[in-house]
Amino acid sequence: MGQTKSIDLPEPGAGSPSVTVSSSAKSRWWLWALALGVVALVGWYYRSSKNASQAADPAAAVAAAAKGRGAGGFSAANMVVPVVVATAQRGDLPVYFNGLGTVTAFNTVTIRSRVDGQLVSVAFKEGQFVHEGDLLAQIDPRPFQVQLEQATGQLAKDQAQRKDAEVNFERYKLLFKEGVIPQQQLDTQAALVGQFDGAIASDQSQIDNAKLQLTYSRITAPISGRIGLRLVDAGNIVHASDTNGLLVITQLQPISVIFSLPQDQLPDVNAKLRSGVQLVVDAYDRDDTAKIASGKLQTIDNQIDPTTGTYKLKSIFGNADNALFPNQFVNVHLLVDVKHNLTIVPASAIQRGPQGTYVYAVAKDAASKDATAKIYPVTVALTTGNSVGLSAGLNSGDVVVIDGQDKLQDGTRVNPNPTGGATGAGGASPSPAQGAPQSGKSSKGQAGGSRR
pLDDT value, residue 206? 95
CATH 3.40.47.10 fits 97-107+250-337, yes or no: no
pLDDT value, residue 114? 94
Q: Cα-flanking dihedrals φ and ψ of residue 50, to 5°?
A: -70, -40
Domain ranges across the chain: 72-93+340-418, 97-107+250-337, 112-244
CA–CA separation, 245 vs 237, rounded Å?
12
Residues in the chain: 452
Q: From 360, 425, 437, 365, select the one nearest 399 (Cα to Cα).
A: 360
CA–CA separation, 144 vs 113, rounded Å?
14
10 Å Cβ neighbour count for 38? 10
Asked whether the domain spanning 112-244 has the same topology as the one spanning 72-93+340-418, the reply is no
Kindly report, residue by residue over 335-391, the tens digit of the pLDDT: 998 888 888 999 999 999 888 899 999 988 766 678 888 898 998 888 887 889 888
Kindly report, residue by residue over 394-427, the tens digit of the pLDDT: 888 889 999 988 888 888 888 888 875 444 433 3
pLDDT value, residue 441? 39
Taking a C-beta distance cutoff of 8 angstroms, is the pair 16, 8 a contact?
Answer: no
Q: What is the DSSP string of 178-234?
A: TTSS-HHHHHHHHHHHHHHHHHHHHHHHHHHHHHHHHHHTEEE-SS-EEE----S-T
Taking a C-beta distance cutoff of 8 angstroms, is the pair 363, 433 a contact?
Answer: no
CA–CA separation, 353 vs 65, rounded Å?
15
Q: Cα-flanking dihedrals φ and ψ of residue 435, to 5°?
A: 100, 170
pLDDT value, residue 369? 72
- Which residues, 6+ apart, have CB-to-CB distance to 187 below 8 Å? none
Taking a C-beta distance cutoff of 8 angstroms, is the pair 100, 443 a contact?
Answer: no
CATH class as words, domain 112-244: mainly beta
One pLDDT digit (tens) per residue for the chain, 452 residues: 444 444 444 444 444 444 444 445 555 677 777 888 888 888 787 777 665 555 455 545 444 444 444 443 444 446 788 999 999 999 888 889 999 999 999 999 999 999 999 999 999 999 999 999 999 999 999 999 999 999 999 999 999 999 999 999 999 899 989 888 899 999 999 999 999 999 999 999 999 999 999 999 999 999 999 999 999 999 999 999 998 899 999 999 999 999 999 999 999 999 999 998 899 999 999 998 899 999 999 999 999 999 999 999 999 999 999 999 999 999 999 999 888 888 899 999 999 988 889 999 998 876 667 888 889 899 888 888 788 988 888 888 889 999 988 888 888 888 888 875 444 433 333 433 333 344 433 333 333 333 33
Q: What is the DSSP string of 95-162?
A: EEEEEEEEEE-S-EEEE--SS-EEEEEE---TT-EE-TT-EEEEE--HHHHHHHHHHHHHHHHHHHHH
Query: Using omega within 30 degrees of 0 as the cis cutoff, is the peptide bond preceding 222 cis?
Result: no
Query: For the whole model, what pTM was predicted?
Result: 0.60
- Kindly report the CATH number that applies to the domain delimited by 72-93+340-418: 2.40.420.20
CA–CA separation, 401 vs 426, rounded Å?
21
pLDDT value, residue 25? 53
